[in-house]
Amino acid sequence: MELPAITKQHLKSAASRDDLIRETAAQIIKDFAEFNLDISFSGNTGNFYLELSQQMVTHVSDMLANNHSRFLGLMYRIDIDNNQIRQYELDMPNNTYPEIITELIIHRELKKVLIREYFRQQDKKDQ
């Protein structure tokens, strides 16, 4: 079974759905918690990006400055590689490195949510 391609347009469209935003927030909270990093979400989907990204930038900055192996572990856990990071650096030349990483994490976590939704829909079709 081949997965559908997830483009930036898919991400943009998904970011307007409250259910996917909440699921993405939960995934981010779960993955950061694996490294004892607290991320909280009020549930206000209209403020999702700002609320989470501020917390995430702080954690990413701290890991980069004080515990690079922890940072690498988080990247591995979320499934982000150097090629993706390089591409985002090219796409976001006016942002700081922690901001770029945060954006990439949010996009990757949203992709995970979209892939799970795709498989849920496939399961429903098969029933």
pLDDT in tens, 37-46: 999 999 999 9
Tens of pLDDT along 112-122?
A: 988 888 777 77
pLDDT of the residue at 126? 65
- Reported as a pLDDT band with limits 50, 70 and 90, residue 55 is very high
Contacts 24+ apart (CB under 8 A), 52-57: 52/25, 52/28, 52/106, 53/99, 53/102, 53/103, 53/106, 56/28, 56/32, 56/102, 56/105, 56/106, 57/96, 57/98, 57/99, 57/102
Determine the pLDDT at residue 82.
Answer: 95
pLDDT score recorded for residue 118: 76
Global pTM? 0.86
pLDDT above 70 (res 70): yes
Q: Is pLDDT at 4 greater than 90 in this prediction? A: no
| Section 21-26 average pLDDT | 95
Selected residue with higher pLDDT from 85 and 122: 85
Instruction: Using alpha carbons, select from 16, 17, 112, 109 the residue that is nearest to residue 56.
Output: 109
Domain boundaries, the chain: 9-115
Distance, in Å, from the CA atom of 96 to the CA atom of 109, rounded to the nearest integer, reads: 20
Report, as an integer, the average pLDDT of 59-80.
Answer: 97
